[in-house]
Amino acid sequence: MRVVDLSHPLRTGMQVFPGDPQVRISGAASVPADGFEVAELHLGSHSGTHLDAPRHTVAGGAGIDELPLEWLIGQARIVRLPEAAPHSTVSWSQAADQLTGLAAGTIVLFETGFSRWFGTERYLSHPVFDADIARILVAAGVRVVGFDTLNPDPTPDPANPASGSPDGASALPFHDVFLGAGGAIIENLANLAEVTWPDPQVSVLPLRLAGVDGSPVRAVAFQP
């Protein structure tokens, strides 16, 4: 079994979505004092590499524990978009030629190369994805889509919170379409360039958090 780690490390003080709960990991027991070590974990449902359930943007929608597990482990297609510029919008036409012959249920992952900026201010200036991509993937039977960025939609500048939401438009048009159709979105993927073989298997299984809107995941690509 060959396995590539598609996840960023989780550690105290790491970068999170502006306004999200901070990650804090602290000791709760230690080998010298207690005979075993235990840690206390404080994090958000969207810390690090994570999965969004419909409930993230659909009030009362399905929680992360209600997603069929069969959707979250299986065949993937990686779309390489090395030219995606900061703050640009990726349109369907830029991705279409890498999405031909897609089987229903394929996990579709978009690589922009922006994961290299994780942990820096520049990471907030990621490209975004046109909601038409969400509509076409939903129509093709895709249930899970992932990105090596913080967000397929514009991320507000923390110094100017209205910046993510153009006047009158939804602030989260890609999320609205894809989660609105009952799908799930992976954000903050890492190391997609290391998946060098075609048609990888991918696992993005969330923790079984009852009724929660999202979960950190250990995303991997594997080749049996």
The binding site for a copy of itself (CB under 8 A) comprises 1-3, 5, 7-11, 17, 19-21, 25, 28-32, 35-46, 48-49, 55-59, 65, 69-70, 73-74, 171-172, 175, 201, 203, 205-214, 216-218, 220, 222, 224
**Number of Cβ atoms within 10 Å of the Cβ of 12:** 11
Interhelix angle for 131-139 vs 173-180, to 10°? Answer: 10
DSSP line for 58-92: STT---GGGS-GGGSEEEEEEEE-TT--TT-EE-H
Q: Which CB sits closer to a copy of itself, 2 or 122?
A: 2
Cβ at position 15, least distance to a copy of itself in Å: 14
Q: Which two tokens stand for residue 213?
A: 């809107």
Cβ at position 88, least distance to a copy of itself in Å: 23
Q: Which CB sits closer to a copy of itself, 26 or 100?
A: 26
Q: Which CB sits closer to a copy of itself, 78 or 172?
A: 172
Cβ at position 39, least distance to a copy of itself in Å: 4
C-alpha to C-alpha distance for 2 and 83, rounded to whole angstroms: 29
Q: Which CB sits closer to a copy of itself, 60 or 101?
A: 60
DSSP line for 124-160: GG--EE-HHHHHHHHHTT--EEEESSS-SSPPPBTTB
Q: Which CB sits closer to a copy of itself, 27 or 86?
A: 27
C-alpha to C-alpha distance for 94 and 75, rounded to whole angstroms: 22
Residue 42 Ramachandran class (φ > 0 left, ψ -120 to 50 alpha, else beta): beta
Cβ at position 119, least distance to a copy of itself in Å: 13
Cβ at position 94, least distance to a copy of itself in Å: 26
